[in-house]
Structure 1
Amino acid sequence: MERVDVAIVGGGPAGASAAEQSAAHGAETVLFEQGVPREDREGVGPDSTDAAGMLDYWIDLMEFDYREIPDDVIHRELEGTEFIGPNSAVELTSTGMDASYPKFGYTFHRARMDDWLHERATDAGADLRVGVGVKDLETDLRASSPKGPTHTLTLSNGDVIEAQYVVLADGPQRRITLDALDQFTAPGRSVSDHLSPPEANHIAYQEYREFPEELFAEFEDRLKFWWGYMPGETAYPWVFPNDGTVARVGLTMPIGMTLEDVEDPGSYKLLRPDDDRIPSGAEYINRLLEQEYGDEYDIEEDIPRVEDRGKSKGTETYPISSTRPIDSPVGANIAVAGGAMGTTSAFHEGGYHVAVRTGKIAGRLAGTDSLENYNEIWKDAIGDEILRNVAFADIVADYGPDDWDWAFSTVNDMQGNGTDDGLIARKYTAGFDAAKIAATYKRTKFTYRDGGYVQLAEDDYFY
């Protein structure tokens, strides 16, 4: 039987980052990625879905020097973002966070970014086996190894491998993570009680569309989000500029929502009186484009879908498991990183940055026989980011169209009373409404203080 120091399940940003750090610290490291095809990639690779973009401070959170990221990864440098409500809008040109990157952020080619992380891992000495998945993982808690429990991984090709440490980085679908962690839960309980697969909390759908030059110029350096246009917690459509005059038009929406769940369907601009069900992602996008640009353009003729992009003929569908994160059973020599641990968020459309950082931490600690420190160190590294995401998502969970208009009007008032138009940090100087937003945010953050955002703690595991 083949034996390695560290086995990594999943080849996305968390897995590749873990592989690089583990190998760089001298551990014999192997990464398994089942691989999926894309229209714009030769062969199979990690399950890459183009991300919204990268904000300035996220690059520092990933512990990258922005100047080392290859030029062909970056599509568009961004100057800001626009949040559009049913009857109001707000433009933000700063995240309000200290950052080394000189712009608001950038959009990027997710597959090329993933491939770059794979190159870094390979250069560090990791063995990346793309096209080979993991079917099963069993942990021997009574192993005779002086370093504690060991793991047996059964691969999709029938091979079996033994590893001292395992990093689970199989994304929000968690094909291996759930059963692997259920080895250490109380009888009758499952990790899925906390993370909610096999169905993720939200589904995202996007299309690559070619825009007329004069229209694309209106948003070539900004992200656009429409809030209060479709029902559901953190449900919203978007437009993100890519290369040339191609943009991604997409949305995120809760899984399983029905019209019976919607209070006042007539208040949402992307619902229609004759709807007998929640529209599909593709229908939502057509309605958004018709509403925003249909007066001047024939949507199908003038803003066509670009079919040589994405996962399937210019479209991509992917889960966003927007839950609170879990701790890892480090006593069993297992770390869970990135989307698999619940760090993605439908509120900010993903979590590439936290996946990279948690992957780096897990890989470094596994490669130096220090994995017992993982839960403490990842909280120190990304706890503030998780706390913000959880707090914001809780605050807006029940917002309807009128609430979004109120919030955006309040933000505009804030901007009118000062020079701070940051996305996160803000001086609350716009009277009662601004004070209400500030108080709610602080109160919600306080609820999750001292790591309270973790929904499955290390002490909840049984060994």
Structure 2
Amino acid sequence: MEHVDVAIIGGGPAGATAAERAASHGAETVLFEQGVPREDRAEVGPDSTDAAGMLDYWIDIMDFEFEEIPDEVVLQELEGTDFVGPTSSVELNTTGMDASYPKFGYTFHRARMDDWLHERAADAGADLRVGTGVKSIETDLSGPSHTLTLANGDELEAEYAILADGPQRRITLDALDQFTKPGSSIAEHLSPPEANHIAYQEYREFPDELFEKDRLKFWWGYMPGETAYPWVFPNDGTVARVGLTMPIGMTLEDVDSPESYKLLRASDDGIPSGSEYIRRLLELEYGDEYDIEEDFPIVEGRGKSKGTETYPISSTRPVESPVGANIAVAGGAMGTTSAFHEGGYHVAVRTGKIAGRLAATDSLENYNEVWKRAIGDEIRRNVAFADIVAEYEPDDWDWAFETIRDMQGSSDDGSIISNRYSAGIGAAKILAAYKKRKFAYRNGKYVQFSEDEYIY
């Protein structure tokens, strides 16, 4: 049987950075990625898990210098973002966070970014086995050591295992259940249908006069579901990704007031498909003057297939890892979150880097504390925001955006000023709710399954 120091399951941002860090610290490292085909990639590679936007301070969370990211990865530099409600809207031209990157952020080509991370891992000496899936993993606690059974039946033994199989968690759930109490399962916390959202996006060519190359755009309160929203992300040329995210398995019976959502119709007998939602959004925004299918054509050579892609997004709170068994879970597999409870390329990169370094230096027992110090503020902040808006309906979004505009005051850069009294009762309510929820998650309480709950 083949033996290695560190085995990594999953080749997305968490897995690739874990492999680079482990190999660069001298560990014999192998990464397994089953691979999916994409029309914008020559070979199979990791699945896409986000709409590929990067805010300024997220680059610092990734622990990269922005100058080292290849030019061909970055598509458009951003100046801000627009949040659109049913009757109100707000512009944000700063994240309000200290950051080394001089712009609001940028959109990027996800497959090229993944490929760059793979190149870094290979250059560091990691063995990347893309196109090779893992069937299962079993842990012997006497080592500890791990036996990986590959899709072809071969086996491999590793001293350390890093689970980075993304929000689908094909291997992670069973691997962690080895250490849960009888009658319980980690799936109670990380089951993909319950813990994830589903995202769908299309690559559309926009008319020149409508293409906003330096702004993101989000529509809130237009479709039902906790943190469900459509978006437009500018790509290269005049191509934009028009997409949405929504809960998995939602039905119209779950919606209290379907008539209040602009993207629902009285004739609907179910929740619309992603493609139908996008068609309705474009018709609503531009249909008076443009023929959507002719003037906003799908660019079929982009994305996974025929200019479209569907993918899961982690939309839950994270779990800690059973480090006593020499296992670390990183990125979407562990439930790390980003803005409004969605996935997060940046936190996947950072947790992968930490897991790889600590595994290679026989220090994995520190993983749970180290990743919380690195990304805990980000998770705590976003989980708190997600709690606040969880029950929002269209009117609530309008109220929130009007209040935020008042909080911005006369600021030229679109930032939110800190003096709540200048914006009245609404601002005080938002800030009080945020502080209360953030306080509730202090000292790592945003973790939903802690290390001491594992049984070895």
Q: Normalization by structure 2: what TM-score?
A: 0.98
Match of 1:227 in 2: 220
**Over the residues paired in the alignment, what is the CA RMSD in angstroms?**
1.3
| CA-CA distance at 1:172 after TM superposition | 0.3
Q: 2:185 and 2:303 mapped to 1: Cα distance?
A: 34
Match of 1:262 in 2: 255
| CA-CA distance at 1:49 after TM superposition | 4.5
- Where in structure 2 are the equivalents of 1:153-302 lying within 5 Å? 153-197=148-192, 200-216=195-211, 219-302=212-295
Corresponding letter in the other structure for 2:330: A
The 1:41–1:49 alpha-carbon spacing in structure 2 relative to 1, beyond 3 Å, is farther
Please tell me whether the aligned partners of residues 343 and 351 of structure 1 are also in contact (alpha carbons under 8 angstroms). yes
Secondary structure of 1:441 counterpart = helix
The 1:260–1:198 alpha-carbon spacing in structure 2 relative to 1, beyond 3 Å, is closer
Q: Deviations over 1:120-177 (max 9, x none)?
A: 001111000000011010000123xxxxx00000111221100000000000000000
Please tell me whether the aligned partners of residues 203 and 239 of structure 2 are also in contact (alpha carbons under 8 angstroms). yes
Secondary structure of 1:172 counterpart = helix
Please tell me whether the aligned partners of residues 137 and 180 of structure 1 are also in contact (alpha carbons under 8 angstroms). yes
Match of 1:386 in 2: 379
Please tell me whether the aligned partners of residues 200 and 319 of structure 1 are also in contact (alpha carbons under 8 angstroms). no
Please tell me whether the aligned partners of residues 206 and 295 of structure 2 are also in contact (alpha carbons under 8 angstroms). yes
Q: 1:51 and 1:427 mapped to 2: Cα distance?
A: 34
The 1:68–1:414 alpha-carbon spacing in structure 2 relative to 1, beyond 3 Å, is same
Question: How many residues were matched structurally?
Answer: 455
Q: 1:300 and 1:106 mapped to 2: Cα distance?
A: 27
Structure 2 unaligned blocks of 5 or more: none
Q: 1:307 and 1:65 mapped to 2: Cα distance?
A: 34
Secondary structure of 1:26 counterpart = coil
| CA-CA distance at 1:51 after TM superposition | 2.6
Please tell me whether the aligned partners of residues 49 and 343 of structure 2 are also in contact (alpha carbons under 8 angstroms). no
- Where in structure 2 are the equivalents of 1:41-56 lying within 5 Å? 41-49=41-49, 51-56=51-56
| CA-CA distance at 1:50 after TM superposition | 5.3
| CA-CA distance at 1:52 after TM superposition | 3.7
Q: 1:350 and 1:426 mapped to 2: Cα distance?
A: 28
Match of 1:446 in 2: 439
Secondary structure of 1:184 counterpart = coil
| CA-CA distance at 1:418 after TM superposition | 4.3
Match of 1:362 in 2: 355
Q: 1:15 and 1:72 mapped to 2: Cα distance?
A: 22
Q: Deviations over 1:338-397 (max 9, x none)?
A: 000001347264300000000000000000000000000000000000001100000000
Secondary structure of 2:37 counterpart = coil
Residues 1:33 and 2:26 aligned together: no
Corresponding letter in the other structure for 2:36: V
Structure 1 unaligned blocks of 5 or more: 144-148
Q: Deviations over 1:97-132 (max 9, x none)?
A: 000000000000000000000000011110000000
Q: 1:332 and 1:237 mapped to 2: Cα distance?
A: 41
Q: 2:129 and 2:339 mapped to 1: Cα distance?
A: 30
Corresponding letter in the other structure for 2:303: G
Q: 1:52 and 1:142 mapped to 2: Cα distance?
A: 42
Match of 1:12 in 2: 12
Q: 1:431 and 1:215 mapped to 2: Cα distance?
A: 36
Q: 1:350 and 1:173 mapped to 2: Cα distance?
A: 12
Q: 1:408 and 1:171 mapped to 2: Cα distance?
A: 33
Identity %: 80
| CA-CA distance at 1:43 after TM superposition | 1.7
| CA-CA distance at 1:248 after TM superposition | 0.3
Secondary structure of 1:450 counterpart = helix
Match of 1:103 in 2: 103
Secondary structure of 1:340 counterpart = helix
Q: Deviations over 1:243-302 (max 9, x none)?
A: 000000000011111111111111100001111111111100000000001111100001
- Where in structure 2 are the equivalents of 1:53-72 lying within 5 Å? 53-72=53-72
Please tell me whether the aligned partners of residues 172 and 320 of structure 1 are also in contact (alpha carbons under 8 angstroms). yes
Secondary structure of 2:160 counterpart = strand
Match of 1:352 in 2: 345
Corresponding letter in the other structure for 1:161: L
Please tell me whether the aligned partners of residues 208 and 249 of structure 1 are also in contact (alpha carbons under 8 angstroms). yes
Please tell me whether the aligned partners of residues 323 and 345 of structure 1 are also in contact (alpha carbons under 8 angstroms). no
The 1:408–1:49 alpha-carbon spacing in structure 2 relative to 1, beyond 3 Å, is same
